[in-house]
Structure 1
């Protein structure tokens, strides 16, 4: 079966048939312009199947023109076309701000998997099984999910790697007529940018990478470490606010751990469904992405769940994180995220995943017992894409890497290491909480704008 979204390539031969396309922009509301172009499903076979790449841009509103600024919100699998609508453009009005949905996502030819009731089961399955029956249920859930993606998406699952997305990005740079790439990537978008600098260093213009991911291959600091650290910061704040969860950091953490343990044995009412341990954990992690402004909602949700057996807030947070709508359908990110991640991953061993999960759990005493081993990629039905090269970006123009000290999802160490590993990396630090720095800090924004517009590179180690 030929999955929806597969198309015939444009006229011509080889890659030139794609380089000769014209981008036809049209109004698509909210002051934005939208377009779609074609890219080869497989760059090794440019005369074979084609797929669609969807784009959106907010045209420059000031002069002189600074060209295009490509942006990516992360994920993997986040929608760049939607990112254009909420990306902070104040101070960057000279750019055409361009977002695209990477292959496999959103308005580009998308990965499709199960939906509705099947996803409700999948997102609530116990990832820390207590017996053989639960172990079997977890393994079967992962296998069923992956097979569903393969059945509905076919060969697309073999061609949504970050390497191929980087090739798409260079194609888009060419099609909009820019000699150099100006780029702002958030979270996983930093991997796209860093790998671009490795594969196309000569065409790097000005690049900002906010919330750096791990490009070193080292596993001594994990995302779970980042969330455990953020939870500890929340617990300290909560105790200082005299919340019901405890009068000290230790007491607050203990209350949260006890709640998650109870949910394993006896889920509580969450409104539309029971709040299971997995959904409760997801609800907590979802709000830890925020800074102190968001923590008050986590406090309220945890207090209601812990003392009144009311899980509605935490289930709402989990549904937001899982991109579940009120009608029971799930957003496409839930499918593109694991599909892209697992094609990039070289993790194919269940036993190794269980070993790593156990080691990570020891470093995260509050969240670790409930996080479980990451079995998604070891049980994925498609073999990994060839391993990426070591990323150094030799020969690239200066690259600004932003790290937030309390970032839960991309621990600050990742930014330190990315800035050091990139030959032209410069570290810009935000001392604060929450995921990503640019959107929450006027200080960071001033440095970024001065760099993108005027080439003023912040001194390595600058802090806000």
Structure 2
């Protein structure tokens, strides 16, 4: 699947520090490939200019990779195997202990490599909000997306009203949260990487971005080694079925947001006979159709905001075009002249991320966007920087959540690419289709330089799975609505619910209509009529 640097998750969302394009490939080796690092190739016969930068627009036949030594560093959290096969893992007994806000916590082990369970084990952290009503409905697993967001953190904020008969369980997928983590750089080096100009407009900026991506990727390999070859969605889906079995559930009941919809779709494909009631909200693109880049969703959301703002005496301008121009003027100025944000600086890329973060909130966040942009324009970048930090997973103490590293580790394992030159070509196409965010999100170089090859690509149809629900919002900034239409069409047992509103992720308070349909489905198995549209 093809992605950009930003993808969605419920509420806070995440920074995507990688992006890849799809292709069919075979199984991947566990050690880094030996393809050469990118070099300054001669210009392609077809090219375009961005600022002072000439970009090739014809894909390269070469896949660019890092050349790294075939070492397998010790990974924190990787433990001894529980036996030569799955029996040892399936004999585990969960020991629940009290944790915050009336929830319970536990951990289990899963094979690092399901093809060879004897090698080593990873740890999976779980949190449970116990059922408080009868009849008991079993377990409902939840995932907030990312990839790389913490499912254990979602448990305390998940909208469980009407679902009190379920034990609500969130888990941190491998590589994330309190499970076996992925870590690539120090916090200080991550700051440096995040501050790089993500949309280079001259050769020196492009070289700096490529060097930064290479350093990030080397750090990921040096700190994680073989874990990177066992961290994709297929591995996570196998973990999820292991958890289902450990909890004694005959079927999997699941609510997944954004990337969580990919987990659900893959589960329906790999374990159709075990599929219970699945709700896939804010669907990602699981098809082979790459005609709609994610940036189109952000451009659409920005257009909706700008139209709304202009109709309300917006301080950014009196028309949609004027509002957009005020925002992009700020971004352009920050490219060469960052502004102070407390003891840090607000750069162009951080400002772009900050505005994108506000668009995740939908219409409720719109009143704040103009205030943050105007403050930054006046020399105070603290507001936009705080929004960017939220999206980037940067905490107040300067530390970073594992998600910022897990995102590329999972994304590059799931996706394939056609090299750095092709990433440039994609950027040109994205700018044509999404003139604002397509430009400022920049090219996606991480996966072309990733040290581990992609996993086998799935084209899930969920044949044989029980009826499931797909939800898409017309104004979704992070996963364009067409993705939900495509997912509902491709998954054979899916029914689509359309939300005619803004924001990323719908179930849980945005629409009474959507909430009622989802609760009826999860509690009584009632599938809504085809074509349901909710406001």
Q: TM-score range by the shorter chain?
A: over 0.9
Q: Say if 2:343 is the partner of 1:272.
A: yes
2:144 to 35, 51, 73: 73
Following the alignment from structure 2 to structure 1, what is the Cα–Cα distance between the partners of residues 414 and 201? 30
Cα deviations across residues 297-340 of structure 1 (Å, max 9, x unaligned)?
Answer: 1121012223x132221111111111112222111111111111
- What is the root-mean-square deviation in Å for CA atoms of aligned residues? 1.1
What is aligned with 2:473? Answer: 404
Q: TM-score scaled to structure 2, two decimals?
A: 0.85
Q: TM-score scaled to structure 1, two decimals?
A: 0.97
Pairing 1:51-66 to 2, within 5 Å after superposition: 51-66=122-137
Q: Mind listing any 5+ residue stretches in structure 2 that lack a counterpart?
A: 1-72
Q: Say if 2:282 is the partner of 1:250.
A: no
**Pairwise CA distance, 1:143:** 0.5
| Contact kept? 1:231, 1:288, Cα under 8 Å | yes
**Pairwise CA distance, 1:31:** 0.9
Paired residue total? 461
Label 1:348 to 1:148 Cα distance change in 2 as closer, same or farther (>3 A): farther
1:432 to 496, 501, 508: 501
Pairing 1:344-423 to 2, within 5 Å after superposition: 344-388=414-458, 390-423=459-492
Following the alignment from structure 1 to structure 2, what is the Cα–Cα distance between the partners of residues 98 and 387? 28
Q: Say if 2:78 is the partner of 1:6.
A: yes
**Pairwise CA distance, 1:132:** 2.1
Secondary structure class of the residue paired with 2:101: coil
Q: Say if 2:90 is the partner of 1:19.
A: yes
Q: Say if 2:340 is the partner of 1:297.
A: no
Secondary structure class of the residue paired with 2:105: strand
Q: Mind listing any 5+ residue stretches in structure 1 that lack a counterpart?
A: none
Secondary structure class of the residue paired with 2:92: coil
Following the alignment from structure 1 to structure 2, what is the Cα–Cα distance between the partners of residues 324 and 394? 40
Cα deviations across residues 375-407 of structure 1 (Å, max 9, x unaligned)?
Answer: 11111122112222x110011110100001100
Q: Which has the higher helix share?
A: 1
What is aligned with 2:220? Answer: 149
Secondary structure class of the residue paired with 1:191: helix
**Pairwise CA distance, 1:89:** 0.6
What is aligned with 2:243? Answer: 172
Following the alignment from structure 1 to structure 2, what is the Cα–Cα distance between the partners of residues 161 and 233? 35
What is aligned with 1:121? Answer: 192
Cα deviations across residues 412-449 of structure 1 (Å, max 9, x unaligned)?
Answer: 10001101110001001111011111122222111100
Cα deviations across residues 56-79 of structure 1 (Å, max 9, x unaligned)?
Answer: 110000011100001101000111
**Pairwise CA distance, 1:348:** 4.5
**Pairwise CA distance, 1:368:** 2.6
| Moved beyond 6 Å, runs of 4+ | none
**Which protein, 1 or 2, shows the higher relative CO under an 8 Å CA cutoff with sep ≥ 6?**
2
Cα deviations across residues 132-151 of structure 1 (Å, max 9, x unaligned)?
Answer: 22111100100101111111
Following the alignment from structure 1 to structure 2, what is the Cα–Cα distance between the partners of residues 331 and 169? 22
Following the alignment from structure 2 to structure 1, what is the Cα–Cα distance between the partners of residues 198 and 255? 35
The farther-off stretch of 358-367 and 229-238 is 358-367
Cα deviations across residues 29-55 of structure 1 (Å, max 9, x unaligned)?
Answer: 211111111100000111111111111
Following the alignment from structure 1 to structure 2, what is the Cα–Cα distance between the partners of residues 263 and 437? 34
| Contact kept? 2:233, 2:414, Cα under 8 Å | yes
Following the alignment from structure 1 to structure 2, what is the Cα–Cα distance between the partners of residues 362 and 120? 30
| Contact kept? 1:190, 1:210, Cα under 8 Å | yes
**Pairwise CA distance, 1:369:** 2.5
Following the alignment from structure 1 to structure 2, what is the Cα–Cα distance between the partners of residues 343 and 304? 40
Secondary structure class of the residue paired with 2:448: coil
Secondary structure class of the residue paired with 1:383: coil
Cα deviations across residues 200-228 of structure 1 (Å, max 9, x unaligned)?
Answer: 11111111000000001211111100000
**Pairwise CA distance, 1:275:** 1.1
The farther-off stretch of 185-194 and 353-362 is 353-362
